[in-house]
Amino acid sequence: MAWQAIDRSRPAVPEGAPPVLSEAVKEKIRAFFDRYPTRQAALLPALRIAQEAAGCVSLEVMKEVAELLGLAPSQVMDTASFYTHFWPHARGRKVIVLCRSLSCELMGGRAVADAVRRELGIDEHETTPDGQYSFMTEECLGACEHGPCMLINERLHSRVSAQQVPAILQDPDNDRLDIAPSSLYDPPDDRGRTDQASAGGTENR
Ligand code: FES
């Protein structure tokens, strides 16, 4: 996320605006407080939960997370703007993350990125008009020997060629996972239920 220029003559978040995060979402964040020595240490899971609920980490979301954790909004912005996975504006339903590190680059990653841009008509950190896809590049995705690598949401596509890109993007199941998602960010009370659901063969995407 790029640095944002803020007009100090006007409040960044309108006074009296309705809250973005529901009480249920705030309660989910509060459930993490006991896991950490300080509230600030719970900031990353709080941001992740907030982004899942609100679709992005807007200024309004940053302010509400700051209030919840007893932090200054600037502390929340510092953290949210450091990590590329927190989006300050709305994302598409599927986020394409292309690896831009050396192994993937040597195996043709740049041509794959050009093909994605061409197929979707968007550049990095942009979203297609239908809200289906957003696109970004990222440093190593941890699968260097399978490059070029591309994530669609949490599904890894490996050894992707530029010629394969149109077919991959047209596949409605291109983000489908055949394994259960991590329960790391589930509140303690929900983890058991998630694990049971996974053990029972719940299909996850
Ligand atoms: S260099 Fe691309 S996954 Fe590591």
Same domain, 66 and 102: no
CA distances from 181 to 113, 155, 168, 191, 205 (A): 27, 11, 22, 12, 8
Please compute the mean of the pLDDT values over residues 180-185 and round it to a whole number.
Answer: 74
Q: Would residue 193 count as lying in a domain?
A: no
CATH of the domain at 28: 1.10.10.1590
**Residue that finishes a domain, picked among 35, 52, 82:** 82
Ligand 1 centre distance from Cα of residue 71 (Å): 35
Q: Would residue 144 count as lying in a domain?
A: yes
* Residue 104 Cβ < 6 Å to ligand 1: yes
Tokens representing 62 are 């940053």
Ligand 1 centre distance from Cα of residue 138 (Å): 9
Residues 6+ apart with CB under 8 A from 43: 65, 69, 71, 75, 76, 79
**Ligand 1 atom nearest 141 alpha carbon:** 3
Q: Give me the pLDDT at residue 186, please.
A: 73
pLDDT of 202 over the 50 cut: no
Q: Would residue 138 count as lying in a domain?
A: yes
Same domain, 101 and 161: yes
Same domain, 165 and 102: yes
pLDDT of 205 over the 70 cut: no
**Ligand 1 atom nearest 109 alpha carbon:** 2
* Residue 96 Cβ < 6 Å to ligand 1: no
pLDDT of 198 over the 80 cut: no
Q: Would residue 59 count as lying in a domain?
A: yes
What's the predicted TM-score (pTM) here? 0.74
CATH of the domain at 152: 3.40.30.10
* Residue 150 Cβ < 6 Å to ligand 1: no
Helix (H, G, I), strand (E, B) or coil at 204: coil
Ligand 1 centre distance from Cα of residue 49 (Å): 27
| pLDDT, tens digit, 9 for 90 and up, residues 58-96 | 999 999 999 999 999 999 999 999 998 899 988 999 999
Ligand 1 centre distance from Cα of residue 12 (Å): 38
Same domain, 156 and 101: yes
Q: Would residue 87 count as lying in a domain?
A: no
Ligand 1 centre distance from Cα of residue 86 (Å): 21
* Residue 56 Cβ < 6 Å to ligand 1: no
Ligand 1 centre distance from Cα of residue 161 (Å): 14
Could you list the residue range(s) of the whole structural domain that residue 127 is in?
94-170
- Mutation test residue for ligand 1: of 97, 98, 100, 104, the one with most atoms within 8 Å of CB: 104
* Residue 92 Cβ < 6 Å to ligand 1: no
Q: Would residue 9 count as lying in a domain?
A: no
Main-chain phi, psi angles of 126, to 5 degrees: -115, 165
Q: Are 70 and 48 in contact (CB under 8 A)?
A: no
State the total domains in the chain.
2
ω into 148 cis (within 30 of 0): yes
Please, which pLDDT band fits residue 183 given cuts at 50, 70 and 90? confident
